[in-house]
Amino acid sequence: MKFLALLGILFLSVPVLAEDLPKTIVGKDGVEMVLIPAGKFIMGSDDRDLKETAPKHKVYIDSFYMDRYEITNGQFAKFLNAVRPSEGKLGERWRWVVIRNDLETDERKNWWPTEIIYEDGMYKALEGYESFPVLSVSWYAADKYCRWVGERLPTEAEWEKAARGGLKGKRFPWGNELPTDGIVFDRRWYSNDVPPPTERVGSYHPNGYGLYDMAGNVWEWCSDWYHPYYYKESPKKNPQGPPTGSKKVLRGGSWYNSAYVLRVAFRNYSSPHSKDDGVGFRCVMDINRKDKNDE
């Protein structure tokens, strides 16, 4: 009953003020979501090696909810069992995610899978890896999952605002200090016979908004098409990215990246069809509300 009451708050026909909303809710998939407050922040970076993040610019973002954690193998397996994608090399699942069964094929014997298997007509996260982030998923898979739970992928601007956690002008979600051993980065995956060198979601310290793993562990898909000079012309309020493109934005860095890639302004991109072994995602939810001082 409590969960239904919270959902009711979100979908009232009469807008509610952001400060009246609960700080956390639970999504349809059982993932806890955190309220990211509306407001302006400085997006981008003037670091000389990050030309595509210039110029730094002020952006206003409406409040929204974001998953506290990255989507896990266990949650993605439940999604696959619910939507029942077609299997086989021409099937939908084949285009969405690389799983351990795929290593049995000639086409993917050298690929790097996430820790999910297909057995007796069911998808299952490998025992012990249910709470590890799903990876090797395409943008289309991430988008489909978020829509399945009535949510969506974050825009690039929403992701950066959330990752900054309320800090101003810092290089990382925690400040300007270089990452320590408490962050998952600069690791090696020497054989796809063993699990990837990620950690359970939420293993280390959250940022100022209570979000975990906004740097390292896995890259996270955003909804935007990528363009290297988009910041020079992007809107000042709720930018959605270019209208078209060939690559989708990735943010956050992953288990295999060096420290400088974990900077909160760092931009990456890939084909929406790609299924990279360092890529996962998390979802966001819109709010039917009226923010004060929203201009």
Task: Specify the pLDDT at position 293.
Answer: 43
Residue 130 inside a domain? The answer is no
Total domain count for the chain? 2
DSSP lists the bridge partners of residue 284 as: 66, 152
Q: 24 and 98: one domain?
A: no
Q: 43 and 144: one domain?
A: yes
Q: 99 and 165: one domain?
A: no
Q: 242 and 149: one domain?
A: yes
**CA dist., res. 175 & res. 264, Å (int):** 10
Query: Mean pLDDT, the chain, as a whole number?
Result: 91
Q: 104 and 146: one domain?
A: no
Residues 6+ apart with CB under 8 A from 8: none
Residue 243 inside a domain? The answer is yes
The CATH number of the domain where 275 resides is what?
3.90.1580.10
Range of the domain at 102: 76-125
pLDDT bracket for residue 60 (50, 70, 90)? very high
pLDDT bracket for residue 165 (50, 70, 90)? very high
3-state secondary structure of 158: helix
3-state secondary structure of 113: coil
Question: CB atoms < 10 A from the CB of 281, how many?
Answer: 27
Residue 155 inside a domain? The answer is yes
Question: CB atoms < 10 A from the CB of 144, how many?
Answer: 16
Q: Which of 98, 125, 152 is the last residue before a domain boundary? A: 125
Environment class of 32 (CB within 10 Å of its CB; exposed 0-12, middle 13-18, buried 19+): middle
Per residue in 65-104, pLDDT tens? 999 999 999 999 999 999 999 999 999 999 999 999 999 9
Lowest mean pLDDT among 49-53, 100-104, 184-188, 277-281: 49-53
> Full-prediction pTM beyond 0.85?
yes
Task: Specify the pLDDT at position 48.
Answer: 84
Residue 170 inside a domain? The answer is yes
